[in-house]
Chains A and B, each alone.
Chain A
Amino acid sequence: MANPKYLIFLGCVVPYRLSSYEISARKVLDKLGVELVEMPEFNCCGLPMDPINHELMLTLAARNLCLAERENLNILTLCNGCFSSLNETNKMLKEDKKLREKINGYLKEMGMEFKGTIEVKHLIYVLAEDVGFEKIKNAVKKPLTKLQVAQHSGCHVLRPAKYVGRDDPENPTTLKELIRLTGAECLDYMDETQCCGNPIIGVNEEVPFQMAKEKLAHIRAVKAQAMITICPFCHIMFDLNQSRIEKTFNEKFGIPVLHYTQLLGLAMGFQPKELGFDELRVKPTEVLSNI
């Protein structure tokens, strides 16, 4: 089978703040034989504009889809949010003729037309479906058998099921299985599928902080050495904001938050500094002494 080839859609948050995710993702994907092509002239996926105007979101997303159709390549996203808006828009426009005509009316002004010829996948579905568990298992050179971690898949990679339709949103297993391939143990904890809260942090800090605190407490309760994420928004909520959450509630968590690609990268034999570990706010000292 030919190696999978994807257009990489970086979105906004990853280049703005989380190069650790991009660096580690590019390293492991390259080693696993996934060819990444840079996406020309892309714009924000549209999701943050949905509250202002739904048609604005759809058209911004559709423009990106048209760029991918032009290259005749499927899109790989690192961010749950980008996956959500691009995948949903892609599916909605494929299914809903009236909506497609409306959005195509706008796209025409830019010399574009949505045809519905490509697919959008989040990184974890490319790993699970295109690379395959067997190949990932074979690429693991240093199994992380001393590590016990907890996963946080986030919302938009699972829900709404109507548009994602891949993993079970009530009891998701894709990320858990991907974690187990690294040799690490993936612990179960309460309310694993609960949202991180980050999307509303710009209008209200109290609720997201309480949601994130509860999740961190549940993860601490099962004694996980680290939390594993696959979305830059979730990562920011738990890593960047963890010290502020600790201060707000006067509680100590000290739970390192790793991008899945960093965990997999370690198991594949990359050095922490090659995987952007120095950019993590909560220092993963214990994790690194156990590899």
Chain B
Amino acid sequence: MSETKEQVPSVIKAEELDPKFKYEMSKIHGAEKIMLCFQCGTCTADCPISRFSDFYRPRKIARLVQLGLKDRLLSNDALWLCTSCFTCVDHCPQGVEIAGIVRALRNMLTKDKGIMPLVYKELATNLLKSGYVYAIPDSRHKKRIEDGLPPLPKPNLADISKIFELTGSAKILENAKTFEKVKS
């Protein structure tokens, strides 16, 4: 798989680098081991997404974090292409949890930049309304009875909404700008 198709500027300017970013990242749950990445490329070589995408390269994400190119990372749509299959996590010889790093960057994007793919906003909205991330239609509830399945329990919407409030997610959701699709 070639990395040549990527449209990236060939020169990195020193003033773009944030030397503290890697320390900030290494305090986030799941991203603790970012500094141990020695760029072997196992993650990219074994990543099923990288095989089919011109942009998604986990090794490069790890390097950009180490270099502190935060803006470049957070403006990169490819972050949303990880399926969290965890192949990279299991294969990394340094124990770097790449999928955890990707998650930390996504969380940063939703919280600090207020951006997320539309689909996640819809799933969250359904969850707050019904306890499920999909809007289960009445016909499904009725069919359960016809099929001899027990009725679904009543959700505790007060608890769910409290969890959104307490974790700061309600605010993230309220302010979120959305986009629909990302290129691969």
Contacts and interface: CB of A to CB of B under 8 A. Distances in A.
Contacts of B140: 15-16, 19
A10 interface: yes
Interface centre among A49, A99, A169 (most CB of B within 10 A): A49
B168 interface: yes
A12 B118 CA distance: 19
B134 interface: yes
A199 B132 contact: no
A52 B85 contact: no
Given A203-B81, A207-B49, A207-B81, A51 B167 contact: no
A53 B165 CA distance: 12
Contacts of A50: 84, 103
B156 interface: yes
Contacts of A197: 48, 83
B149 A23 contact: yes
A114 B92 CA distance: 31
A110 B124 contact: no
Residue of A10, A200, A276 with most partner-chain B CB within 10 A: A200
Bin chain A's interface residue count: 35 or more
A134 to B, nearest CB: 29
Contact of A51 (B49, B110, B183): B110
Contact of A53 (B99, B168, B181, B183): B168
Contact of A204 (B48, B81, B111, B124): B81
Interface string B80-107: 1111111101100000010100011011
B43 to A, nearest CB: 13
A16 to B, nearest CB: 4
B163 to A, nearest CB: 5
A201 to B, nearest CB: 9
Contacts of A159: 85-87, 89-90
Contacts of B166: 59, 106, 109
Most buried by B among A43, A63, A155, A276: A43
A197 B85 CA distance: 9
A241 interface: no
Contact of A161 (B82, B90, B127, B143): B90
B169 to A, nearest CB: 4
A53 B110 CA distance: 8
A59 B152 contact: no
A49 B169 contact: yes
B144 interface: yes
Contacts of B144: 15, 19
A76 B39 CA distance: 39
Nearest to A43: B131
Interface stretch (A34-42, A137-145, A175-183, A262-270): A34-42
Contacts of B182: 203-204
Interface string B140-184: 100110011110111110011011101111001100000011111
A160 interface: yes
Contacts of B103: 50-51, 54
B179 to A, nearest CB: 9
A22 B106 contact: no
Contacts of A77: none
Given A52-B110, A53-B172, A207-B81, A16 B136 contact: yes
27 contacts: A12-B132, A19-B147, A22-B149, A23-B147, A23-B148, A38-B150, A41-B159, A43-B132, A48-B127, A51-B80, A51-B106, A52-B106, A52-B107, A53-B169, A56-B164, A59-B163, A99-B29, A109-B166, A155-B83, A155-B87, A169-B90, A200-B49, A202-B119, A204-B182, A207-B184, A211-B48, A276-B147
